[in-house]
Amino acid sequence: MKESIHKYFQIGTILWMSYPDRDVLEGIQTVARDEFFDAVEVCQIPDGETRAEARKRLSQSHLTVCYGAQPRLLGPGLNPNDIDETGRKRAEATLMEAIDEAEYLGAKGIAFLAGKWQEETKNQAYAQLLKTTGNLCAYAAKKGMRVELEVFDYDMDKAALIGPAPYAARFAADMRMKYDNFGLLVDLSHFPTTYETSKFVIRTLLPYITHFHFGNAVVKPGCEAYGDQHPRFGFPNSANDTDELREFLQVLKDEGFFCPESPYVLSMEVKPWGDEDAETVVANTKRVLNRAWSLVKD
């Protein structure tokens, strides 16, 4: 592509992935000072004073703010599709709190993930997830906000109910019957973990996608960083690199996701492994994105 990627996408980063060992305010400042970024994705900030300062810094930045509620579920092991109603309600409660925190920080919605499931109770879990997500969408709609479900692996690492692309499409269709503020978040780094391709995922989920992530994964059993670990591009035995990102971007172009009037958020989800330097890993990701973008056909 000859034109800037920033014409067609709001390029972002997931703060807690890019800078996992950095103070949240320092991380926000780092991203806010980097004109490469148009968006930043934040998560729960428990301390009220820190949260207020984060809001102040974000408001000065002209960054699009996104809110990831995934850590709220993964950390304490909460499950929004728990077949035990008490457990489901606990997950729903923290996600309701996430909507309020996201609004306070300037985000227009939240993203979350489905919980683990068992084959024998899969249909019950699906119904529970519909209930949780519907309640979230109804609450978010009162605030003019969106709810996004991120599509994860179903049998490798997170083992989330949603899940392979066809099942995610079914769930999204059911949700959109009642809630137009629901969408799906898809991540290139998850495609190898669901044994799917960019073309298949994007075409299957096309009417429902509202947000994009990109990154890498290792899917060879026994190898370092196996599973949903988001290692840097070029990591040993990993599945994605420049060509896979180029193909992903080309599919987005071919399927009509280049939207200069209202660009989608496209965030890097890559984290340092072991003692790797966070700034170097972020720079690595920018280089791969720039190269892949240059190879997309006009």
pLDDT digits (tens, 9 = 90+) for 215-238: 999 999 999 999 999 999 999 999
Q: Counting beta carbons within 10 angstroms of the beta carbon of residue 207, is it exposed (0 to 12), middle (13 to 18) or buried (19 or more)?
A: exposed
Tokens 């994860």 sit on residue: 152
CB burial readout 24-57, b (16+ within 10 A) else e: beebbebbbeeeebbbbbbbbbeeeeebeebbeb
Q: Which amino acid is at 8?
A: Y
Using a pLDDT cut of 90, give the percent of the chain over it. 100
Distant-in-sequence, close-in-space partners of 84: CB < 8 Å, separation ≥ 6? none
Name the nearest CA neighbour of 106 among 77, 162, 145, 151: 145
Please report the DSSP string for 245-283 in residue order: HHHHHHHHHHTT---TTSPEEEEE-----TT--HHHHHH
The predicted structure's pLDDT at residue 248? 98
Domain, as residue range, for 190:
5-294
Domains identified in the chain, total number:
1
CATH of the domain at 31: 3.20.20.150
The two beta strands, 146-150 and 39-42, are: unpaired
The predicted structure's pLDDT at residue 264? 98
What is the average pLDDT across 43-55? Answer: 98
- With 0.95 as the threshold, say if the pTM is over it: yes
Name the nearest CA neighbour of 66 among 174, 150, 153: 150
pLDDT digits (tens, 9 = 90+) for 233-289: 999 999 999 999 999 999 999 999 999 999 999 999 999 999 999 999 999 999 999
- 149 and 113 in contact (C-beta within 8 Å)? yes
Q: Which ranges in 10-152 belong to alpha helices (H)?
A: 15-18, 24-32, 48-61, 70-74, 85-105, 122-141
